[in-house]
Structure 1
Amino acid sequence: MQLKTGEQISPSRNLSKAEFIALAAALMSVNALAIDIMLPALQQMGASLGVENENHRQYVISAYFAGMALALLPYGPLSDRYGRRGPLMIGLIIYVVAALGAAFMSTFEGVLAMRFLQGVGAASTRVIAVSMVRDRFGGRLMAETMSLIFMVFMVIPVIAPTLGQIMLLIAGWEFIFVSMAAIGTAIIAWAALRMPETLAQEDRRPFTIGSIGSAFAIVLTNRFSLMYTLASTFVFGALFAFINSAQQVFVGIYELGVWFPVIFAVIAGFMALSSYLNSRFVVQFGMRRLSHGALTGFLVVSAIWLGWSMMGEVPLVPFLILFALAMFQFGWIGSNFNSIAMEPLGHIAGSASSVQGFIQTLGGGIIGAAIGQAFDGTTTPLAAGFFGLAVIALVLAAIAERGKLYAASPQRKEGVKN
């Protein structure tokens, strides 16, 4: 039962749209929590576990992304076959167990192994939350819903670094992992009690090599799906690069010290605001006009930042202004690009979300790690990465739209234009 634009399926439980959005955001937030709450702890963790090269401390983030990326592929076909609830619960349990395991590791390699496993569990939330939204909504309604979910989701980066900093002062980096396990357990309980099964029986697909292969082929041969997935990958690569380098930039270069979580929260707040504004405007103006315009703005801001940094380090206040403007664009790009990529694939939402999530997370993680490892004590590598990735993403969007950016695609099947 494939949805048309504007259609939605009534949930099998008495779940309001507001609670559905809150629950989907909570599921996706375990990823943001697992990443952002760790940022203030990287220095202490590295010192405690004998990691001398400060760039190697970034592996705590990279290992998580690697585990999540590799596990994204099976969750989609499994959720298309058995429904959304079962695979989600299994993934969340793995997430909680791995978080507890990391708290008791005495070696850096052990922590990395647990972080990899934690990413494996968290992959279920990345795939299934998006699939649930696509099960219930199509077209601009999906983009609006994803924007609201992303707005709630962005509360986590606002508060997580501060929570991490407080936990470091109270009990050390191990307590951060215990807290992640506790929060994950609470989300398991909420989802078990309230989450509806959004995949109808008639829409379930057999779990066979042939069916999985055909679903993957559909995703990779649809021009909109492939190009917008790749464009999202490069945009997310910039975001991952920032996450990897944030502690070194704000603490190492600008010497913000304990103010680092506050600045991080302000920047995340700009992203949350842009997501809210996108949810208000997307139905009226369309996904393409908003996302293409935001990507162009992201490119321009990155070019200014890069040019300035090549002449000397950008002072703190101008840097924060430029960086906040760049981050503001993410709220207009991410949810819209994902919605456009998913729009023609509602009949294989789980598998489609898997393939797209795999490409975005693995590709974005590798790109972000490469830029992060290029950190040389200045912001120039990060600025150059932002600018280059924005150019590539804009080219990919232009290929998807056959050069007609900022307007509706003539290939659209739905009657509502974007």
Structure 2
Amino acid sequence: MHPREFVAFIAALMGVNALGVDLMLPALADIGHDLAVSAANHRQWIVTVYMMGFGLGQLLYGPLADRYGRRPVLIVTLAGFVGASVFAASAATFPALLGARLLQGLMSASTRVLAVAIVRDTASGRQMARTMSIAQMIFFIVPIMAPTLGQGLLAFGPWRFIFYALGGFAAFVLSWTLLRVPETLAAERRVTISLANLRANYRQTLTNRYSAGYAVAASLTFGGIIAFVSSAQQIFVDEFGAGDRFTLLFALCAGAMGCASFANSRLVERLGTRLISQAAVLALIALSVLHLLVITAGWETLVSYIVFQALSMTCIGLCGSNFGAMAMEPVGHIAGTASSVQGFITSIGAVLVGSAIGQSYAGTTLPLALGYLAIGVAVLALVWVIEGGQLFRARMG
């Protein structure tokens, strides 16, 4: 594949998951009404349950990809995602929809594991971080466009159309895989699935402080994204009464992450993953403190919220791909299994963090600002431990 096509494919693969999370956001109120969901906060489970499946599924796909190769696993799971999308579109009750969302998450988990593993098969270090940043820059366009696309689908039919569209996009990526994507794992690098091998690979991934530590750090920052996504509809529509501008305002906040990934792709090879990510964490803490002061003073408005949220998402965007690259660097020889374990840690941790913040929503942006401050402080402390008590003076990888 041409390098540009390769990056585009990785972005499309990651886009399956991004659309799975964001495409139905404008329809949450319609889904709640149609399926008799009594509490508004319960609608957030449509996002949260998906992410739970996304996290759990990653434990399975890494070992399978290391044994059978990346391509066969990807083909089977993309086909499964298409089927789960049809199941979701035909759900008659809220529990049935949640079951379909869980299945969607389980199937889309392969996209995260295999995107990282495929990139790691062909690159490492700063080059890997740069490739992932470019892919994520394209990928972040999806969350910007997804609510608008979802709103457009609602203009032509009920919320069930959204899930048919998800299945259609996954079918497109499946066709791309079948026609254009080669196997990136050489036969001599494949490992037999056994309890002994799994234990050894899991031990290597979990006992290396960079691998495990930066996976946990990524889970905390990713939790901030889930908290925003799951509560965005309530904040913009219920708190600020901006339902008619929801897709635009959501795009402004999500777009900041795309800009951050683009900047990271240009700067990471010159400045290093550590310098950029550590500076971004410090900036997130400072922004959160300022945001809390604005809220407690009674000065919070729609404009102030958008400014602080967009800047916070910029900081998170500067952390994500760099934390992922640093976590993968010492375990590249077991990229599939390591990616699955790290992805499980990142996704499940993010669900716990994001759900705790999102379910605390009570009509104000205070829980989100407090949550971001807690995330920033926790990540800074964790990075300090990972780097042996040094910040900025540590080896700049």
SS of alignment partner, residue 43 of structure 2: helix
- The 5 Å alignment of 1:13-412 reads 15-312=1-298, 314-409=300-395
Encode CA deviations 1:109-164: one digit per residue, 9 max, x unaligned.
Answer: 11000000000100010100000011100110001001001001001011100011
What is the rounded CA distance, in whole Å, between the counterparts of 1:279 and 1:125 in structure 2?
Answer: 21
Higher share in helix: 2
- Root mean square deviation, CA, Å: 1.0
Paired amino acid for 2:380 = L
Query: Aligned-pair distance for 1:258?
Result: 2.1
What is the rounded CA distance, in whole Å, between the counterparts of 2:320 and 2:27 in structure 1?
Answer: 27
Query: Aligned-pair distance for 1:328?
Result: 1.0
**Stretch deviating more after TM superposition (322-331 or 121-130):** 322-331
Contact 1:289 1:407 in 2 (8 A): no
Paired amino acid for 1:166 = G
TM-score by length of 2: 0.98
Query: Aligned-pair distance for 1:401?
Result: 0.6
SS of alignment partner, residue 164 of structure 2: helix
Paired amino acid for 1:124 = S
What is the rounded CA distance, in whole Å, between the counterparts of 1:406 and 1:249 in structure 2?
Answer: 36
Contact 1:78 1:87 in 2 (8 A): yes
Paired amino acid for 2:280 = A
Encode CA deviations 1:183-202: one digit per residue, 9 max, x unaligned.
Answer: 11011000111112111112
Query: Aligned-pair distance for 1:315?
Result: 1.1
Sequence identity of aligned pairs in percent? 44
Contact 1:240 1:368 in 2 (8 A): yes
What is the rounded CA distance, in whole Å, between the counterparts of 2:34 and 2:299 in structure 1?
Answer: 31
Contact 1:143 1:339 in 2 (8 A): yes
Query: Aligned-pair distance for 1:274?
Result: 1.0
Contact 1:46 1:57 in 2 (8 A): yes
Contact 1:267 1:324 in 2 (8 A): yes
Encode CA deviations 1:300-334: one digit per residue, 9 max, x unaligned.
Answer: 11111122223336111122111111111122110
What is the rounded CA distance, in whole Å, between the counterparts of 2:384 and 2:179 in structure 1?
Answer: 44
Encode CA deviations 1:58-82: one digit per residue, 9 max, x unaligned.
Answer: 1111110111111110100000011
Paired amino acid for 1:196 = P
What is the rounded CA distance, in whole Å, between the counterparts of 2:32 and 2:305 in structure 1?
Answer: 27
Contact 1:288 1:407 in 2 (8 A): no
Q: What stretches of structure 2 of length at least 5 have no aligned partner?
A: none
What is the rounded CA distance, in whole Å, between the counterparts of 1:183 and 1:360 in structure 2?
Answer: 25
* Pairs aligned (count): 397
Paired amino acid for 1:107 = T
Encode CA deviations 1:221-247: one digit per residue, 9 max, x unaligned.
Answer: 001111111111111111111111110
Q: Which runs of 4+ in 1 moved over 6 A?
A: none
What is the rounded CA distance, in whole Å, between the counterparts of 1:288 and 1:367 in structure 2?
Answer: 23
Encode CA deviations 1:72-113: one digit per residue, 9 max, x unaligned.
Answer: 101000000110001111111111100011111110111000
Query: Aligned-pair distance for 1:38?
Result: 1.1
**Stretch deviating more after TM superposition (295-304 or 338-347):** 295-304
- Residue 12 of structure 1 aligns with which residue? none
SS of alignment partner, residue 154 of structure 1: helix
